[in-house]
């Protein structure tokens, strides 16, 4: 009985549904640009800047810092405006390209002096210094009403779009905080210093903002305009928003809302010149000549130090200086308009690939593929940043792909566990079936063993002969047979046979063949030729599987030692006597069941007292070792010749078994092995 087998087909569609559902949800979240998505994106872009900060190529900007040394020399802030006027004049004497004052003066000088319109005499001195040195003053945008209004800004030329459509896209301020009117009117320009930093990190700066109905440039852009003596600010746009903001030949690429990403380098003290050194004439004119100078506070107790992706805190003036270096070195960071679409498409394609292929491959292959794909995305993002300054968000797609992969793998593992559970149930059924089969085979083995005669019983009742037999089936049951019995008081019939095939079918056919041979022997007495002929006819009558049996049958006269024998295609018996070994090759015919009717010839051989006859099946001579070498008849005969003449039947069989064991054939039987040894002691040995 063969145990049932079950083939499982993985139900992959639920895995695909789970993966595609997760992918669809993540695509929607990615497209809507959630706060979590924005945070992840900015974290990655910050990591790029930390890993590969910009190398400073040129020094177009210098920061004149009102630092701790300057405050120690000239007193605490705020300084009198006449002192600031002296600083601006000292800078102007070194002939910079432009001066940008990153400071606000919304109130008159509180240090006194003669009052004048809109301020004090000190304010007037400072205003004259601003006017004579074409300085640009900072202004701060605010969403509150009032303040100082919008003021006057340079003309703006918009290319490629309607200014009225463009205005709502810019950062919006309802008014600005400006310096006092006397100072504000004296300045050569005014630039916005407001920059959004929602999480405290300044990553980009608006190059232009909308203040009521006017467009105002950032401080850096206004300094460049004043230095180049350009009349207008140029905005290039399309229907989707701004493309660049600039003046003259300068064009800074921006996001559609006018913000420019700053590519930061490390903090560099060489960008700074102390105000006290300028005031006291200790500065090399080459440090400032033809440079854009930013005047700002750096005293630690006076200002907040904003954070950048590269440095946890830097003076605000250094951010302006780094933006100037970006512009002059052409080292911009760009977030292309096509980037969000490309990222969404990459997520859709890679996610679909994950969902479709993960259920079809092994887990380690899926994991390796996922790691390789995510590494490839990371390499693309890093390469785009380093080579061309393009900001690609590969972190959001990568995290989304990990979630899609985890969802798909979870579905795969659930399905695998379901299949394992079903397999365990099936294996349990198969084990029970196998146990039943094993029990049935064990019962068949016991039945087959029970059909074979016991040599000890025969020896006990018949002292004229000694018999020993051994059978080793290749499987649980075998197709070999042997038998010995006394059809009369002075005659002993014995035989050995070998059924074609192995296992249970051969054992059943063996039992039938043995019974029919014994029945024919009991009817025919010592006529071995008639025994085999009648047995052949009986066995062949009902043989639907066309099996056959080789057999050798011997009939021994216990009084005279005459042994008649007939052979049906079997190995010839071996007689072991005083003259050595003799093979009984006479009386041969075809195996039983090869022909429905066949007359088998008989032959005779007379045993001398003490001689032994050995019957065996071809499982002995055709036994093989691990290298598939045959045991062979020659080795068998060599073992028999080496035994003493008085060796018992049981010891002869034990010697052959031991040699088979040494040959390495008993552990891996290819065929059933059977041996029967009979020694005739002579007529005088009575029971």
pLDDT digits (tens, 9 = 90+) for 279-309: 999 999 999 999 999 999 987 655 668 889 9
What is the number of other CB atoms lying within 10 angstroms of the CB of residue 75? 12
Q: Best-predicted range by mean pLDDT among 109-113, 166-170, 325-329, 533-537?
A: 325-329
Q: Which residues pair with 402 in a beta bridge?
A: none
Average pLDDT rounded to a whole number, residues 367-396: 87
- Cis amide leading into 258 (omega within 30): no
Burial (CB < 10 A; 0-12, 13-18, 19+), residue 58, is exposed
Please report the domains of the chain, with CATH numbers, ordered by start residue. 12-46+338-421 (no CATH), 55-329 (no CATH), 453-680 (3.60.40.10)
Give the distance, in angstroms, between the CA of residue 179 and the centroid of all CA atoms in the same chain. Answer: 63
1 or 317, greater pLDDT: 317
Q: Tell me how far apart the alpha carbons of residues 186 and 132 are, in angstroms, rounded to a whole number.
A: 9
H helices then E strands: how many in the chain?
19, 29
Helix axes 81-93, 121-132, angle to 10 degrees: 20
Q: Is the pLDDT of residue 246 over 90?
A: yes
Backbone angles phi, psi at 61, to 5 degrees: -120, 145
Burial (CB < 10 A; 0-12, 13-18, 19+), residue 551, is buried
pLDDT, tens digit, 9 for 90 and up, residues 544-583: 777 888 999 999 999 999 999 999 889 999 999 888 899 9
**Residue 164 in contact with residue 158, Cβ under 8 Å?**
no
SS3 assignment, position 551: strand
Q: Tell me how far apart the alpha carbons of residues 572 and 434 are, in angstroms, rounded to a whole number.
A: 40
Check residue 303 and give its pLDDT: 63
Check residue 423 and give its pLDDT: 86
Average pLDDT rounded to a whole number, residues 673-687: 83
Radius of gyration of the chain (CA): 54
- What percentage of the chain has pLDDT greater than the value 70? 89
Check residue 61 and give its pLDDT: 95
Q: Tell me how far apart the alpha carbons of residues 656 and 637 are, in angstroms, rounded to a whole number.
A: 10
pLDDT, tens digit, 9 for 90 and up, residues 172-198: 898 889 999 999 999 999 999 988 777
Q: Is the pLDDT of residue 62 over 80?
A: yes
Check residue 110 and give its pLDDT: 81
Check residue 687 and give its pLDDT: 47
Q: Tell me how far apart the alpha carbons of residues 386 and 381 are, in angstroms, rounded to a whole number.
A: 9
Which residue do the tokens 């050194």 mark? 277
> Taking Cα atoms as reference points, which of 95, 91, 80 lies closest to residue 126?
80
> Taking Cα atoms as reference points, which of 571, 441, 553 lies closest to residue 508?
441
Length, in residues, of the chain: 687
Check residue 148 and give its pLDDT: 52
Q: Tell me how far apart the alpha carbons of residues 184 and 143 are, in angstroms, rounded to a whole number.
A: 20
Check residue 73 and give its pLDDT: 92
Least confident of 83-87, 112-116, 413-417, 513-517: 112-116
- DSSP alpha helices (H): ranges in 479-611? 503-524, 528-541
Please give the DSSP secondary-structure letter assigned to residue 265.
B
- What percentage of the chain has pLDDT greater than the value 90? 38
Both structure tokens of 513: 């063949």
Both structure tokens of 281: 């004439």
Average pLDDT rounded to a whole number, residues 21-30: 67
Q: Is the pLDDT of residue 97 over 80?
A: yes
**Average pLDDT of the chain?**
84
Q: pLDDT grade, residue 6 (50/70/90)?
A: very low
Average pLDDT rounded to a whole number, residues 606-625: 89
Backbone angles phi, psi at 264, to 5 degrees: -85, 145
pTM of the model: 0.62
**Residue 195 in contact with residue 140, Cβ under 8 Å?**
no
Least confident of 133-142, 202-211, 497-506, 533-542: 497-506
Q: Which residues pair with 625 in a beta bridge?
A: none
Q: Is the pLDDT of residue 521 over 50?
A: yes
Q: Tell me how far apart the alpha carbons of residues 498 and 481 are, in angstroms, rounded to a whole number.
A: 6
CA end-to-end distance (rounded Å), the chain = 48
Q: Tell me how far apart the alpha carbons of residues 492 and 557 are, in angstroms, rounded to a whole number.
A: 7
Q: pLDDT grade, residue 651 (50/70/90)?
A: very high
Q: Which residues pair with 569 in a beta bridge?
A: none
Give the pairing of strands 119-120 and 115-116: antiparallel
Q: Is the pLDDT of residue 200 over 90?
A: no
Least confident of 114-118, 311-315, 458-462: 114-118
Give the distance, in angstroms, between the CA of residue 266 and the centroid of all CA atoms in the same chain. Answer: 38
**Residue 103 in contact with residue 78, Cβ under 8 Å?**
no
Q: Is the pLDDT of residue 7 over 60?
A: no
Q: pLDDT grade, residue 3 (50/70/90)?
A: very low
Check residue 112 and give its pLDDT: 60
Average pLDDT rounded to a whole number, residues 142-150: 64
Helix axes 316-329, 219-228, angle to 10 degrees: 50
Check residue 624 and give its pLDDT: 84
Q: Which residues pair with 205 in a beta bridge?
A: 260
Residue by residue, DSSP assigns 116-161 as ETTEEHHHHHHHHHHHHTTEEEEEEEESSS-TT-------EEEESS
639 or 521, greater pLDDT: 639
């Amino acid at each position: 009985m063969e145990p049932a087998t079950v083939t499982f087909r993985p139900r992959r569609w639920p895995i695909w549904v789970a993966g595609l559902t997760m992918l669809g949800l993540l695509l929607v979240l990615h497209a809507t640009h959630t706060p979590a998505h924005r945070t992840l994106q900015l974290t990655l872009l910050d990591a790029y800047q930390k890993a590969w900060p910009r190398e400073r190529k040129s020094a177009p900007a210098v920061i004149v810092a009102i630092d701790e040394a300057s405050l120690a020399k000239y007193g605490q802030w705020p300084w009198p405006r006449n002192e600031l006027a002296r600083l601006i004049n000292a800078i102007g004497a070194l002939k910079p390209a432009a001066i940008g004052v990153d400071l606000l003066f919304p109130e008159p000088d509180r240090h006194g002096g003669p009052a004048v319109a809109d301020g004090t005499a000190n304010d007037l001195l400072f205003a004259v210094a601003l006017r004579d040195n074409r300085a640009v003053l900072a202004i701060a945008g605010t969403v509150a009403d009032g303040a100082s209004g919008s003021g006057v800004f340079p003309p703006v030329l918009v290319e490629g779009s309607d200014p009225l459509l463009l205005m709502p896209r810019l950062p919006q301020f309802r008014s600005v905080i400006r310096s006092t009117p006397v100072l504000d009117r004296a300045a050569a320009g005014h630039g916005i210093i407001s920059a959004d930093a929602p999480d405290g990190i300044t990553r980009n700066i608006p190059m232009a903002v909308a203040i009521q109905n006017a467009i105002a440039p950032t401080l850096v852009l206004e300094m460049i305009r004043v230095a180049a003596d350009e009349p207008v600010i140029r905005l290039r746009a399309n229907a989707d928003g701004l493309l660049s903001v600039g003046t003259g030949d300068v064009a800074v690429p921006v996001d559609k809302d006018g913000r420019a990403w700053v590519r930061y380098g490390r903090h560099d003290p060489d960008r700074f010149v102390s105000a006290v050194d300028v005031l006291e004439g200790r500065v090399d004119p080459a440090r400032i000549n033809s440079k854009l100078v930013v005047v700002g506070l750096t005293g630690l107790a006076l200002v907040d130090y904003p954070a950048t992706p590269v440095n946890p805190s830097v003076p605000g003036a250094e951010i302006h200086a780094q933006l100037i270096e970006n512009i002059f070195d052409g080292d911009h960071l760009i977030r292309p308009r096509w980037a969000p679409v490309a990222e969404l498409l990459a997520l859709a394609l890679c996610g679909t690939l994950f969902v479709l292929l993960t259920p079809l491959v092994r887990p380690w292959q899926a994991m390796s593929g996922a790691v390789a794909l995510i590494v490839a995305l990371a390499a693309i993002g890093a390469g785009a940043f380093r080579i061309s300054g393009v900001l690609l968000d590969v972190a959001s797609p990568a995290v989304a792909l990990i979630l899609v992969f985890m969802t798909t793998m979870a579905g795969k593992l659930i399905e695998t566990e379901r299949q394992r559970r079903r397999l365990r149930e099936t294996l349990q059924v198969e084990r029970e079936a196998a146990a039943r089969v094993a029990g049935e085979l064990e019962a068949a083995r016991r039945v087959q063993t029970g059909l074979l005669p016991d040599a000890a019983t025969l020896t006990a009742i018949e002292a004229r002969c000694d018999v020993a037999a051994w059978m080793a089936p290749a499987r649980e049951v075998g197709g070999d047979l042997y038998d010995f019995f006394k059809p009369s008081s002075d005659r002993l019939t014995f035989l050995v046979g070998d059924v074609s095939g192995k296992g249970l079918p051969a054992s059943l056919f063996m039992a039938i063949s043995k019974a029919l041979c014994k029945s024919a022997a009991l009817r025919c007495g010592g006529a071995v030729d008639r025994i085999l002929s009648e047995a052949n006819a009986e066995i062949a009558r009902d043989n639907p599987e066309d099996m056959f049996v080789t057999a050798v049958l011997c009939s021994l006269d216990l009084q005279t030692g005459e042994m008649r024998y007939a052979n049906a295609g079997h190995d010839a018996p071996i007689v072991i006597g005083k003259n050595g070994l003799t093979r009984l090759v006479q009386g041969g015919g075809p195996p039983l069941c090869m022909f429905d009717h066949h007359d088998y010839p008989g032959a005779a051989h007379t045993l001398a007292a003490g001689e032994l006859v050995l019957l065996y099946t071809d499982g002995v001579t055709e036994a093989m070792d691990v290298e598939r070498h045959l045991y062979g008849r020659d080795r068998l005969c060599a073992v028999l010749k080496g035994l003493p003449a008085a060796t018992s039947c049981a010891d002869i069989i034990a010697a052959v078994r031991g040699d088979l064991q040494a040959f390495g054939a008993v552990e891996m039987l290819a065929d059933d092995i059977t041996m029967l040894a009979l020694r005739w002691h002579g007529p005088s040995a009575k029971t």
